[in-house]
Structure 1
Amino acid sequence: MMSRLRSAMRQSKRGGVEVIESAKTTRKRTKTAVKEEETTASPSSYHTFTDPAAVVLLRSELLTWYDREQRELPWRTLAVTEPDLNIRTYAVWVSEIMLQQTQVATVIDYYNKWMKRWPTVQDLSAATLEEVNQMWAGLGYYSRGRRLHEGAQKVVTELKGQMPLTVDSLLKELPGVGRYTAAAVGSIALGQVTGAVDGNVIRGLCRLRAIGADSTSPAVTEALWDLANTLVDPDRPGDFNQAMMELGARVCTPKGAVCSQCPVQSHCHSYRKVQQNSKKLLGKLGGKTSSLPDIEECVISGTCRLCPSEPWDNALGVHNFPRKPAKKAPRVERTLTCVVIRRGDEGEDEYLLKQRPDKGLLAGLWEFPSLLLEEESSEMKQKRALCAVISRMLGTSVTETLLQHIGDIVKLYDSVESQKEQTSKNGKKQNATGVKNNKKPLPSKKAKLGAESSGGRQLSLSCFFKAVKEES
């Protein structure tokens, strides 16, 4: 059924939008990538697809598998059933932003609720940022929701309510839309012929063509985009790109790749390498040599910028690729946080919150008053610093005697969680180490809200207050 719908929608897409030129001629390359291309030799043919017949065969095998095995996802259904070009483009854009660094299973429920509440870009534009953040609660990386909201407002106010209709205009006009997102939306919603390279596609292409250099380097990035644009099916660009992503998500996975189920196994240099090594160990080569080049020959040439710098590890097999640079150590920051509580008119606790700046980390969200701790200092100095912040916020003088030091909030939270686990195991309540037995200790309340009321999800401001009142 889905295949027939795609076939029908494909005609309407191609009738309303011109097919763009190959992305490799329309994208601006970074200065770094251009400089590297000028100073190094071209990639070896071992890492590319030089036979047009092989490309046609790969497209057919992959799309046949996709038509049979694809998951039924709400944004895919909408992309092939929604006749309104503007709504279709908006819907795919929302899905792609939600899927950034978030698992498909997590996104489905959020996507359905989002599209039910804001089915058009005009509906989203009329929402408030607080409403968007509340709907986004639990997905993480709140800047993504904020950029969707900003983009919707720009479309309505500056673009007369019309979504951009080309890859280049999507990239130029919508905040938070990069090269991949523009290509994905353009190919899936608009039928534009361009490859799309995300993490799943990087992994698949690196294994298919045994690309073992740093997968984040400019040279490899450009090579992968060139490969994607070479392989993309001109008749079904959106389906092809989604098929490549589906392959990486379900078959060519980061660990435990299921090569026996791969529809393009015959094209994979990494799989071929595994098979050759297996036959060598079993002594079944019989003196015959393959006419196809091997990766060792490419490495020995010393001129290929896509070859691995480290030798092949037989124990890893196809998981030799892709290769990433060592992760940098995370930056460690410590903050001083002050929880200011007062009794409300109805006797409930009220908490002082401030809104974060509209740009940067956790932009626009609300938090307890805090400041960055740049160096170790005494408890008295910390209290003075916090008092200065609170005094400016309230417009009154706050003295250090009003502050009570309760320790590391995160550690207190962890201790309460540990206590709850112990309670569930033993069937009786245990005291949490390091938590003072105050009448209403905030860390305990915060932990209870976070774990019980939200199921581990981050609460919006309104939900937080509602939960506090219910518990009081």
Structure 2
Amino acid sequence: ETGPYTRCQTMNRLRSAMRKGKRARMEMGETAKPKGKRSKTAFCFCPSENGFIVLPGKTVDAASACTYHTFPDSADVLLRSQLLRWYDKEKRELPWRTLAMTEADLNIRTYAVWVSEIMLQQTQVATVKDYYLRWMKRWPTVKALAAATLEEVNQMWAGLGYYSRGKRLHEGAQKVVTELKGQMPQTVDSLLKQLPGVGRYTAAAIGSIALGQVTGAVDGNVIRVLCRLRAIGADSTSPAVTEALWGLANMLVDPERPGDFNQAMMELGARVCTPKGPLCSQCPVQPLRPSWCDFKFLLTSSSPSGNSGTCHLCPSEPWDDELGVQNFPRKPAKKPPRVEQTLTCVVVRPGEEGEEEYLLKQRPHKGLLAGLWEFPSLLLEAENSEVKQKRALCAELNGILGTCLTESVFQYVGEVVHIFSHIHQTYVVYSMILKDGGTETQTEDTQWLTRSSLQEAAVSTGVKKVGMLSTHCV
């Protein structure tokens, strides 16, 4: 510890101040209070060089926040310099960062950052890099993307997941060309209002990185960093906490390098201040964080349940010694994914050039995996016997092919499990071989593809898993 007081002396001062505050409240007793906003007598914990200064007996409105959830005036400048110094030295070289730094054309730069931010939603950086490079090589401008078909976009996006993102990028590009004369929006507000699929964070990220606008950007990584720096332990998804975090981000953002600062905050959360196993000893802004020993004492002394009731940013649950810094942020428990079973059949016929062809059917243009291609499939409402499953497939495929297949032609292959963010999907897989290579489909939303073409088609990862399972059975 630095400064005139040791940690032990600091903690003794804290305890003494709290005892004095308690005696003062007991001596005052209960007095009549005018009606109006509810208020409570509470301790105000103010950060100082040696921990916290406790100011007992201060009247705090029930909706207010404790002062240690904000930064002292001098801390924001120090945080900026330390964080940007670390970022300049440690940042990862990523294609979208390089393009944002080197592209002189503002329209192309804004488009390029937009593409990267949409791809990075719910997807790891390592996965995005190759997709981003291929995308920008094929569609280097917003006009080039607008001229593409949705089928081409889905093909390029195949395997990246959350397929509606690609569709919204395509829709946005077409809107820019047809309604905005090919010019990307140039402010955070216009990005938010005019581009489909662009929310508060994405607009702020594009605005700061591509356009140099001075605005904070709050994603999952930044939420974690700020909650730990300022001991914000209330539900991080609540409106009150969300607004508080955006307020902190806007206060901290560097006015000279807003894009770099926001990326530095995200980089810190992704690589150092991680959800599990954070590398606190490597954190460039760790000295600005409250002492956990002090905070734990203050928190557990306020009330048995953790939150004294006066602060909407303090934890509502007791401190967990085993979690330490991972007590922050707090989130509500996720709902378990719903369980689904899908009956699917890999139908094969001889191709004209000797290569086998596979029957694919297009999914509806709205909903899960909209517009993608899959093997003929049916949702299983309940556990069915193999006989009933074959009967259902027989009816489905006779309708598609205009044939009179019998249940005996179907062979059970096995099961494939694929996990979506909100669905635990099990594919019950059958196969069937058509001897007549000239069999044609009776509906427009079907096509025959060779195995090599199937790998390049707009199909989901789950469909590719089904295809791999059936390889040795068809």
Paired-residue identity, %: 72
* Among 406, 410, 421, the residue aligned to 2:412: 406
| 1:84 partnered with 2:91 | no
Contact 2:307 2:315 in 1 (8 A): no
Is 1:274–1:314's contact at 8 Å kept on the other side of the alignment? no
**Given the alignment of the two structures, is residue 370 of structure 1 paired with residue 370 of structure 2, yes or no?**
no
| Matching residue's letter, 2:392 | A
Counterparts of 1:211 and 1:309 in 2: how far apart (Å)?
10
Specify the structure having the higher radius of gyration (Cα): 2
Tell whether 2:292 aligns with 1:273.
yes
In the alignment, what sits opposite 2:337?
A: 330
C-alpha distance 294-337 of structure 1, shift in aligned 2 (>3 A):
closer
* Total equivalences in the alignment: 379
Counterparts of 2:279 and 2:122, CA distance in 1: 23
What is the aligned partner in structure 2 of residue 112 from structure 1? 133
1:102 aligns with 2:123: yes
Name the residue aligned to 1:356.
363
The secondary structure found in structure 2 opposite 1:248 is helix
TM-score where L is the length of structure 1: 0.72
* Cα offsets for 1:48-100 (capped at 9, x unmatched): 22x22222222222122222222222211211221111000000011111111
User: What do the CA deviations read for 1:203-252 (whole angstroms, capped 9, x no partner)?
Assistant: 10110111112222222222211211121122221111111001111211
Amino acid at match of 1:44: C
The correspondence of residues 277-356 of structure 1 with structure 2, limited to 5 A, is: 296-297=301-302, 299=306, 301-356=308-363
DSSP 3-state at the match of 2:196: coil
Report the CA distance between 1:138 and its aligned residue.
2.9
Does structure 1 retain, via aligned residues, the 8 Å contact 2:307–2:316? no
Contact 2:272 2:278 in 1 (8 A): yes
What is the CA–CA distance in structure 2 between the aligned matches of 1:435 and 1:133, rounded to whole Å? 26
The answer on whether the counterparts of 1:46 and 1:295 sit within 8 Å (CA) in structure 2 is: no
State which of 196, 199, 223 in structure 2 corresponds to 1:178.
Answer: 199
| Correspondence for 1:46 | 68
Per-residue CA distance 1:375-421 (angstroms, 9 max, x = gap) = 23344433333333333333x2534435424054327xxxxxxxxxx
Distance change >3 Å, CA 267–CA 294, structure 1 → 2: farther
Cα separation, partners in 2 of 1:85 and 1:233, compared to 1, 3 Å: same
Deviation at 1:40, TM superposition (A): 5.8
Equivalent residues of 1:274, 1:318 under 8 A apart: no
Q: What is the one-letter code of the residue matched to 1:219?
A: A
Q: Which amino acid aligns with 1:386?
A: L
Ranges in structure 1 where 5+ consecutive residues have no aligned partner: 1-38, 281-292, 412-433, 441-448
Q: Which piece of structure 1 moves more, 253-262 or 134-143?
A: 134-143
TM-score where L is the length of structure 2: 0.72
The structure carrying a bigger helix percent of its residues is: 1
Q: Give yes or no for contact 1:203–1:254 (8 Å, CA) kept in 2.
A: yes
**Aligned: 1:195 with 2:202:** no
Give the CA deviation at 1:122.
0.8
Residues 247 and 360 of structure 1, relative CA distance in 2, 3 Å threshold: same
- C-alpha separation in 1, matches of 2:146 and 2:282: 44
The structural deviation recorded for 1:135 is: 2.3
* Structure 1 partner of 2:280: 259
Which of 234, 239, 250 is residue 213 of structure 1 equivalent to?
Answer: 234
One-letter code of the match for 1:346?
A: E
Aligned counterpart for 1:127 among listed residues 124, 148, 154 = 148
Structure whose residues are more often strand by fraction: 2
Partner residue of 1:381 out of 380, 388, 394: 388
Match of 1:76, SS state, is helix
RMSD: 3.5
Q: Distance in 2 between matches of 1:405 and 1:40?
A: 66
Say if 1:205 and 1:224, in contact at 8 Å, map to a contact too. yes
Q: Is the 8 A contact 2:300 2:318 kept in 1?
A: no
**Native 8 Å contact 1:255 1:319 kept in 2:** yes
Q: What amino acid does structure 2 have at the position aligned with 1:404?
A: F
- Summarize deviations over 1:331-364 as a string: whole Å, max 9, x none: 0011121222222333432222111112221111
In the alignment, structure 2 segments of 5+ residues that lack a partner are 1-60, 418-428, 436-450
